[in-house]
Amino acid sequence: MPTSGRRRLGVRISQDVWVDEVERLSARSRARVAAERERPRLERDGVELAQLLACSDLGADGTRLRGLYKVYVPISDAPPSARPFAFVFSVAERDGEVYLRLVAFGARHPLRGTRSVYERAHKRLHGRYPDQ
């Protein structure tokens, strides 16, 4: 990882999670285009710690995401309202290296009828959506 003076954590994205979370979307959708734009940089440079936000342990929608972190997409210094999507990561460790592992991707607050990234992360962790 480059050392720009800002602390970073490496990112690992398994292909099966990428397929489930990103490739499920239409190839030209804003969400998929945004995720595909960020992936090479995430895998090469990691995530600045300043960009990581802790997910709510217990969300108003019933999601339980204790210990998970989100990064708003597009990854930038723009206000959250200008970044409608998010990656959700878990912290992992292997051979003494701490890194982030992709759990979910999607819209932060989608229109009715679409699951949020937080609901998707909950399902990946607990095997069902919070309202099931």
Mean pLDDT of the chain: 94
Average pLDDT on 19-30 reads 97
Rounded to whole angstroms, the Cα distance separating 108 from 122 reads: 13
The answer on pLDDT for 28 being more than 70 is: yes
The answer on pLDDT for 14 being more than 50 is: yes
* Between 5 and 81, residue with greater pLDDT: 81
| Per-residue exposure over 70-84, b if at least 16 CB sit within 10 Å of its own CB, e if not | bbbbebeeeeeeebb
User: 58-104, pLDDT tens digit by residue?
Assistant: 999 999 999 999 999 999 999 999 999 999 999 999 999 999 999 99
Q: What is the domain partition of the chain in residue ranges?
A: 8-126
* CB neighbour list of residue 76: distance below 8 Å, 6 or more residues apart: 83
From residue 57, alpha-carbon distances to 20, 78, 118 in Å are 24, 25, 11
The answer on pLDDT for 2 being more than 50 is: no
